[in-house]
A and B are shown apart, each in its own frame.
Chain A
Amino acid sequence: MKKIGIIDSCVETPEELILSGGFIPYRLFGDSSLSPLKADEHLPPTHCVWARNILEQGLQGLPDDIMGIVSTHGCDCMNRQFDIWLDSVDMEFMYFLNSPLKRNAAAKKFFIQDMKELIRQIEEHYNVKITDEKIRENIQLMNKIRALLKEISEFRTKMKIKYSELHELIKKVQTIDKQEALNILEEKLKDVKSRPSIKENELKNILLTGSGLDDTDFIMNLENAGFHIVIDDLCIGTHYFWEQADEGADPLESIANYHFKKPIYSAKVPSHQRYNFIEQLIDTYEVKGVINLAEKFCESILYDHPFMNKKLKEKGVPYLFLEKEYNTEAYKQLSTRFDAFYEII
């Protein structure tokens, strides 16, 4: 089956629409082993390292079965980069989805119009028909996937699964056939339920938040430093599965509503509300500390950090803010900061 690539600084792209066109939605993730030499020719040095990594992949050439790209409005960096993709990446179909910044009635109306335009362009370009019926079926499919992921995620509290394993799983779900993903998740749930708890007494429960953070190796580094990410506030995490879409409503309205009620990411507004979700998670999951990690030059997180710092101080929860490069070598430099944080919580 052919794929359509997704470039998304949050998780705002309605996979249901791509599925309904008969494609596998294939979200692009960073690759920390890549040197962004080609991307460096397009982006000044002070631009986000993750976005640079994704651009590098585009410039080097994506796999042949990726037939097009949907890039979704996120941060300045990704928004402006779309023109570079159009100009320099060899791909015949590219659509920029303007998922709105705000979450109100006017924004919803606009989002629905923009989804309709995406449908229209996919239909015209690939000579397919995307019916309401198909979208509805795919909403149901995605709901099942979200529900399973949420259930598996809850086993983090019982020390039956670490975030790194869940993280890999969520990424996989976003790159393969969704029916296959459903089977894998059902199997995984059975497996997780029946496995014994991890016996690592010294692990400390934390919440991880920040930029997209899609590099599982990095998550493993954190776990190796003694942290158990009992819950997260991330796009490759709770933001992907926390809510369900209404299956009865008009399908596009339902998708828009779904995106407006899921946990907010820092690139959307009011991003300070992100703290409310974090606070709720801290209380529910008995979190001992919060780590906020920004990809280097991620403005969305940099702007929110002092607010987060203030609120967590008020709440009395230890907080660590860090910026990271997008390469495995650089990860090692953070270990002393992790160790120091481990000691204080």
Chain B
Amino acid sequence: MSNSQEREKTQRKKSKMLDATKSLKNIMGRHYLAIEQAYRDGNPTAWATSGSPVELLYAMKVQPMLPENSATMSAAQHISKDLIELAETQGFSYDLCSYFKTNIGAVSKGINTFKGGIRKPTFMMATDVICDTHVDWFQTQGERMNVPVYLIDVPHIVSNVNQRQYQYYKKYVEEQLWGLMDFIQEHTGNELDMEHARKVAENSYKLSEVWRDIYELRKNIPSPISTKDTFGGLFPLFTMPGLKPPIKLYKRMYREAKGRVDAGIGALPNEEFRLGFEGIPFWYNLKYFAMLEKFNAIIVYEPYTFAFAKFFSNPFEEISKERLLKDPIEAMSSLMLSFWYIFDLETRVKWFKKTTEDWKIDGWILHNNVSCRPNTATIYDLKRHLQDDYDIPCLIIDADQNDPRKFNEIQVSNRIESFIEILRKRKET
């Protein structure tokens, strides 16, 4: 397709999704088919929380399933509210994480996989690296479903942790990863094949790498892609790190986006405002983000969707491919300790500042997600620092990632509209 044809095609509609992203459905479909296949063949399966080393499951021939991912599917199909309410009738508080409650509801009701249901696994693997919810969630479901749970305790990195501490934190995580492999062997009979583990690790690295490259393209003005590609496109990073098919998909996304960049065309025809979005989107109303288009505003960076390209966001040390291949378990323990989504306040502020400059962001929308205390605990301070220290405009909106009851569309829209006005005035002056 010539550049002018591409330009025309993109400008026909507002914010055009990449053609490649449309095949995401097929990739995710393969993931769910692989799960079904594992049950048919009697192969082991495991639930895993985000932030846990899913690669090690693939390395040990265990089929992973991510309940958070399933919960987003329920939200996208507008059934999360019912499932959450069902969990609440079982005594789980209105104030608890909506992913967790969606999962409780989905399992209680036994809904099918494509609606966000999830089957009983051979075992569960959780870690507290991102939140306590993950630990409490799997402990609760492990007990209710009578399934063994392996927990990886990841020391919490705060702003004044030094390199010396970081080193013994890492050793602790590494020791537990070896413990995890013993646990897997005990419950499945599968042994670790280091060569296979290296291949899986290499694929995971490549997946992150292409995702990072796609992000690099978003630095261009206009940005070639919008959240239509990243909010959905992110799932293979959670569910399939270590497999080849998503790498191919991301490469296609990259090529298409690069084509747009070369042709000087953006996902949005008249890009005026470049925004960053911090936090998890509202999965039950993804269309909502298209509303930004009427202001000629486009989101060009989301720490959340970038965070899981974890090889490129460790502020303590570089994790090169060579190092990963030399000792995948050691590298994996570094990857678990520190990445975008769980940064301490000081690192968070630094990275936001740099990202704002590199991606030429006019302002940030920060989602105060009432489900997620760990992610929102320092959100006011983040805003204060970005605004006061670096003159970066920020807007905090209150909502929830999976519970539509906690999203007040009119209120949020009004606030966004006023925010865009502020950005407009800044540009004018």
Contact = CB atoms under 8 A, between A and B. Distances in A.
Nearest to A323: B93
B175 interface: yes
A300 interface: yes
A306 B92 contact: yes
B128 A101 contact: yes
A87 interface: yes
Given A44-B380, A47-B373, A269-B151, A87 B159 contact: yes
Nearest to B127: A101
A83 interface: yes
Interface residues of B, number: 47
Given A87-B345, A110-B168, A307 B143 contact: yes
Interface string B344-381: 11100000000000000000000010100110111111
Interface in A267-302: 267, 269-272, 297, 299-300, 302
A175 to B, nearest CB: 25
B176 A299 contact: no
B155 A98 contact: yes
Interface string A75-101: 111011111101110000010101011
A83 B132 contact: no
Nearest to B343: A83
A109 interface: yes
Interface string B381-424: 10000000000000000100000000000000000000000000
Contacts of A82: 158-159
Interface string A30-55: 00000000000111101110000000
A56 to B, nearest CB: 14
Interface in A183-229: none
B346 A307 contact: no
B158 to A, nearest CB: 4
Contact of A83 (B95, B155, B165, B345): B345
Interface stretch (B56-64, B133-141, B220-228): B133-141
Give the one of A47, A98, A114, A297 with max B CB within 10 A: A98
Interface in A235-265: none
B389 to A, nearest CB: 11
A107 B373 CA distance: 25
Of B90, B93, B131, the most chain A CB neighbours within 10 A belong to B93
A156 interface: no
Nearest to B95: A297
A93 B299 CA distance: 40
Contacts of B169: 98, 110
A44 B159 contact: no
Nearest to A78: B377
A44 B172 contact: no
Given A47-B373, A76-B373, A96-B158, A101 B153 contact: yes
B381 A309 contact: no
B374 A109 contact: no
B161 interface: yes
A100 B153 contact: yes
A102 interface: yes
Contact of A43 (B164, B346, B377): B377
B374 A83 contact: no
A86 B179 CA distance: 34
Nearest to B137: A303
A113 interface: yes
B394 to A, nearest CB: 14
B91 interface: yes
Contacts of B429: none
Contacts of A84: 345, 377-378, 381
Contacts of B139: 269-272, 303
A165 interface: no
A102 B176 CA distance: 11
A266 to B, nearest CB: 9
Q: How large is the interface on A (under 10, 10 to 19, 20 to 34, 35 or more residues)?
A: 35 or more
A224 B139 CA distance: 37
Secondary structure at the A interface, as helix, strand, loop or mixed, is: helix
A308 B172 CA distance: 31
Contacts of B93: 302, 305, 323
A94 B95 contact: no
A130 B131 CA distance: 34
A106 interface: yes
Contacts of A307: 140, 143
B160 interface: yes
B158 A83 contact: yes
Contacts of A306: 90-92, 140
Nearest to A116: B168
B108 to A, nearest CB: 12
A73 interface: yes
A117 interface: yes
Nearest to B143: A272
A87 B389 CA distance: 13
B156 A47 contact: no
Contact of B381 (A77, A88, A98): A88
B380 A41 contact: yes
A300 B161 contact: no
Contacts of A323: 93
A87 B151 contact: no
A106 B176 contact: yes
Interface in B164-205: 164-165, 168-169, 171-172, 175-176, 179
Contacts of B380: 41-44
A96 B72 CA distance: 34
A79 B129 CA distance: 11
Contact of B96 (A47, A100, A101, A302): A302
The 10 A-B residue pairs with the shortest CB-CB distance in the complex, in nearest-first order: A80-B377, A306-B91, A303-B136, A83-B345, A110-B172, A101-B153, A98-B155, A302-B93, A96-B158, A76-B374
Given A88-B381, A106-B176, 6 more contacts: A43-B377, A44-B370, A76-B133, A100-B155, A101-B151, A117-B164
Interface of A: 41-44, 46-48, 73, 75-77, 79-84, 86-88, 94, 96, 98, 100-102, 106-107, 109-110, 113-114, 117, 267, 269-272, 297, 299-300, 302-307, 309, 323
27 contacts: A42-B380, A76-B133, A79-B156, A84-B377, A86-B158, A86-B159, A86-B346, A96-B156, A96-B160, A100-B153, A100-B155, A100-B172, A101-B153, A107-B172, A110-B168, A113-B168, A269-B135, A271-B139, A299-B96, A299-B373, A300-B132, A302-B95, A303-B133, A303-B136, A303-B139, A306-B90, A306-B92
